[in-house]
Chain A
Amino acid sequence: MLKFSFNLVFFLSIIINSGVVAQSTPELVFPSSLQGSIKFELSANPNSNKEKLDYDQLAVYVKNSAEEYGSNPIQGQHIREGNYLIFKPYFPFESGMIYVARTKKNNSHSDYSFHSFQIGKKKKIEESKIISIYPTASQLPENLLRFYIYFNTPMKKGEALKHIQLTDEAGNVDNHTFMEFKQELWSSDDKRLTILFDPGRIKRGVTTNIKEGPALIEGKRYKLSISGTWQDVYGQKLSTKTTKEFEVINAYRHHMKVADWVVNKPRTNNNDTLTIHFDRILDHALIQSMFKLEDEENNLMDGYWEILEKEQLVQFIPKYKWEKGNYRIVIDGRLEDISGNNLQNLLDHTKTSKENNKKPLQYIKFKI
């Protein structure tokens, strides 16, 4: 068990100017890292080596938010080396915390002096803003199923639709465009919100579609806006209103087939990228997890995928040069376009269509 005494009968609460952080001097050397120690030069006194040196000569305190420190110093170990007294805390220093070193020369008449120091910066919360809205294209199909909104910081939940609006060219607000869920659709880090158009407005012949009509009409222009008053979980407002204007084009009503995509093959002994050009805009979130590239022994190829041209193209950037051989791109059959049609089926279909392809995995094979 550690034993050490506190001879600190006094209870000092000293106001220290905020923002004033002292620099190391030859006399007092502050820690250079979180695991470091603090060194204090004692006055040259031939007898001082025999004295007990502890918190009275060198103590470190945590400075609190009221710019004060309490009666308890940080606990640690005092070590004497030559003319220096070294203090090493039992627990490492913390980044961004402001500490106060209280020092006293080893003759009992001298007064204490105080020096504040800091190691590293406090982790700062990033400002809250919208990073991107998907799909990024400015022409979107009439049966568009969802938007993804990416934020910089985790947002306050349960109020998304109060802040999100869809207006038409004339400035009319449609309050029934999006699905209202008891629980909003957030990613696990709370930074991506999915907003779904009410499928009842998209699917033809369904009651809401007949009663209220489709949410988007081909040939017209619309504006999606997100208010600047929306706060993140830290209480920071987005501060600026974000809008996305788009024009509505033909609905995506035909089957999505890998045969309709254009693949640009790489050359051997080269770092060429492999590109796949789609016949339509694909779902941004799903693209990221539903493509794989394998060699002829079904080994996963090293490299990474990039989404380009407003989600109409993906490219694979290989880590190594291409070798001769057979390759295949493996695509999850659940991959969707932005209208919710996947490689197996259409979202809005009449009973079973002959064109359905129920295979869970689909392939594009090529040889180089």
Chain B
Amino acid sequence: MTTPISLTINGEPRRTSATTIAALVRELGLKPEKVAVEHNGEIAPRSTLEQVRLADGDQLEIVHFVGGG
């Protein structure tokens, strides 16, 4: 078992045992193919979401498309 780490997701603190971005996204109940992720200020390309490892203190922005004009 991995030790839980502390992250900031969309400005909110959260603890997780997920080790990759894709695992975290799924843990949140979201589909990796429907979101885009910024990891510590850098875009995390979708093709790398399964590989990019999370570390304690990481800052994430997870966005998707909503209605807009």
Say whether A associates with B.
no
